[in-house]
Structure formats: C-alpha cells, structure tokens
Amino acid sequence: MPSEEPSGQSNAPRNSGGKEGADEHQGLLRVTRRLNAWLDAQQQVPGRRIVAVPRNWLLRLLQRHVITRLAGIERLFVLNPFARLLVYLGFSPVHIFIASSIGAAAGLRWLYRESRGLFLTMAGVIYPVYGTWCLLRMPMAVDAPAMQAWMGEARRWLAYWMVFAGLQLAEHWNRQIQERLAVYHPLKLLLLYWLQCPVARGAERLSQWRHAKREGKVPANNVEPSAHNNKKEKEKEKEKDDEYEPYNVYAHHGDDWQVFKQRLTHELTCRPAWQHPASVMENGPSQALPVQPINYAEAMTEDEPFADVFSSSAPYA
C-alpha cells in the first residue's frame, strides 16, 4: 500500500538517528579527513630524506602533532549550531572552516596588539576554568581505576594553577620583565598552551615529574611520615594508653582511692628526678654517689597509714 511506504521510510531514521547523527557530524569534518588521506598517500610514495631525516617519519610526526590539534579546532568551528545552519543553507564545511579560522586569527591578533595582558589572561583562564569545573562536577568514583584517573586530572589542574599564579605574581611585582624582554609574552603564551593543551598535557607531565622526584628522595623501605600514617605517633599513643590503663579500670569501677594511689605511685617511682636527685642539680658533682631510691610502692601497700593521713577528706575516708 502506498500509505505504508512513507511510514517505513520515517521509521528508519528514528531507529538509527543517533548513529546517523554521529556520521553526519563526522562528515562535516572534511578538512582533517582530507589532510589525513593526503598524508597517508604521501607516505606510500618513496621519497628522499629531508635534511638527513626520513621523509615518512616527518609525515607521521606532522600527522600526530598537527592534524590532531587541527581536528579539535575544526570541531569547534564546524560542529556548532550556527555552522550547521550554514551547511544546511548550502555552504561548504571547508569554506566555513577556512573563514572561521581567518576571522579568529584576525581577532586574536588585534586583541594581542591592543591588550596583551588581557589576551594572555583570557588564554590562561578560560579553558582551565572549564576543565576545573568539569572536574568538580565529575561524580566521585568508587573503583580504583576511575579514582586514579580523577586524581591524575586533579593533580594536572592543581599544577597548572600553581604555575599560572606564580607567573601572575612575578608580573605584578616586577613589571620590568615585560618591558625588557620582547619575547616574554610569546614565551608565556607557548608555556600556557603547553600546560593546558589536552594533547601535550604539560601540567600533568610537570606534576608527574615533581611526584617522581619526590618519591626518589624517600627510600623504598621507608614510609614517608604523614598525618594519616605515622608509626611513631601511634606507638606513643599506645604506650600512653597502656600506662594509664590501671587508672582507667579503677575509674570505671568508681574507686577514687585506688586511682589516687596508682597515680601517686607512678609519679614517685617513675620520674628520674626521684630516682637520681643528683642528675637534676644545677651544680651537682660530675660523679654523683649512688643514691638508693625510696621504695614508695612498698610503703603504700598498707592502707592504714594513708587512711590516717587522709581521714579528714570525705571522699577518701
């Protein structure tokens, strides 16, 4: 029936709309596809060395480090709604990409000449702010690989913001750098691009280099002290708990007199000043005579003398 044919034709795009939409987006990226095809064809043609460097190696280097970045720029210029509207009206995606690139280059050149400080600040803030915002909106992962990826991305942007803040602080306190060095702004622009570029990922490389250098200073069999993993502090706390364990037991049962006796015995028998009085004298002899410490623990075994002394206090009667 003729009525069934349009319905069948209309159902096909609905079932594969996502795939056709992705293919349509990839079809708009014609500049990168043509350049990759041309470079692949040039690698098949035998050629001579260029300045003692293999020709195919240079072509692969160009394809890896230039075409990949050009693909990101083409996605930015061609896959936006306005560019798709122009393609729908009949304009070529190649012409749209060329016109957008020329216009963006002219605008950036004018902004760089008029206000270099504003241009460099915008170049160093816009994309990192977007990357940091995406990192903050990323859900907290539970599995180890996703957690490692999140930590790597966090270290990357933390390292970038530290470098960017250092550059801004140096410019604020020493403005003569910008006046004396004519290549300061181009060098800063290249440094910011290298740090935040998603292909080069310079900030991540810088963070990994600093982390590897720090790990090299710490021996492999030694655990670096931290607030969460300090064996010495844990041992001290354990010794302190063991030392006051009898007091805690007596205090738990409400026997204040036993708590007082235990504390007094500990203070009188464990301190070195009571055991060796000459060791704390300001002008004592270099070789003090052996002093026999008083055994207060033995004297306190009987409760009657202490009961007579503290008979006036109601809690200890």
Q: Is the pLDDT of residue 161 over 90?
A: yes
CA 237 to each of CA 99, 224, 230, 262: distance values in angstroms, whole numbers, following the listed order:
71, 19, 11, 20
Is residue 12 very low, low, confident or very high in pLDDT (cuts 50, 70, 90)? very low
CA 196 to each of CA 202, 204, 296: distance values in angstroms, whole numbers, following the listed order:
6, 9, 72
Q: Could you tell me if 49 and 25 are in contact, meaning their C-beta atoms sit under 8 angstroms apart?
A: no
More confident residue, 134 or 260: 134
Domain match, 89 and 107 both: yes
Task: For residue 232, give both structure tokens.
Answer: 């010495």
Domain presence at residue 52? yes
Domain match, 80 and 169 both: no
More confident residue, 209 or 314: 209
Nearest to 128 by CA among 208, 202, 211, 209: 202
Cα separation of 99 and 310, whole Å? 100
Examine the fold and report which residue of 201, 218, 235 is the final residue of a domain before the chain moves on.
218
Domain presence at residue 7? no
Domain match, 180 and 251 both: no
More confident residue, 173 or 129: 129
Cα separation of 110 and 205, whole Å? 32
Cα separation of 76 and 28, whole Å? 12
Q: pLDDT tens across 236-295, in order?
A: 666 655 555 555 555 555 566 666 677 777 666 665 555 555 544 444 444 555 555 666
Q: Could you tell me if 74 and 97 are in contact, meaning their C-beta atoms sit under 8 angstroms apart?
A: yes
Indicate the number of domains in the chain: 3
Q: pLDDT tens across 61-79, in order?
A: 777 777 877 877 787 777 7
Domain presence at residue 206? yes
Domain presence at residue 119? yes
Domain match, 95 and 170 both: no
- Residue 193's domain spans which residues? 115-218
Domain match, 38 and 105 both: yes
Q: What is the dihedral of CA 24, 29, 34, 39, to 10 degrees?
A: -120
Task: For residue 241, give both structure tokens.
Answer: 């708990």
Domain presence at residue 223? no
Examine the fold and report which residue of 79, 114, 149 is the final residue of a domain before the chain moves on.
114
Cα separation of 67 and 18, whole Å? 26
Examine the fold and report which residue of 93, 114, 135 is the final residue of a domain before the chain moves on.
114
Give the chain's mean pLDDT: 70
Q: Is the pLDDT of residue 107 over 60?
A: yes
Q: Could you tell me if 250 and 262 are in contact, meaning their C-beta atoms sit under 8 angstroms apart?
A: yes
pLDDT at 199: 75
pLDDT at 198: 79
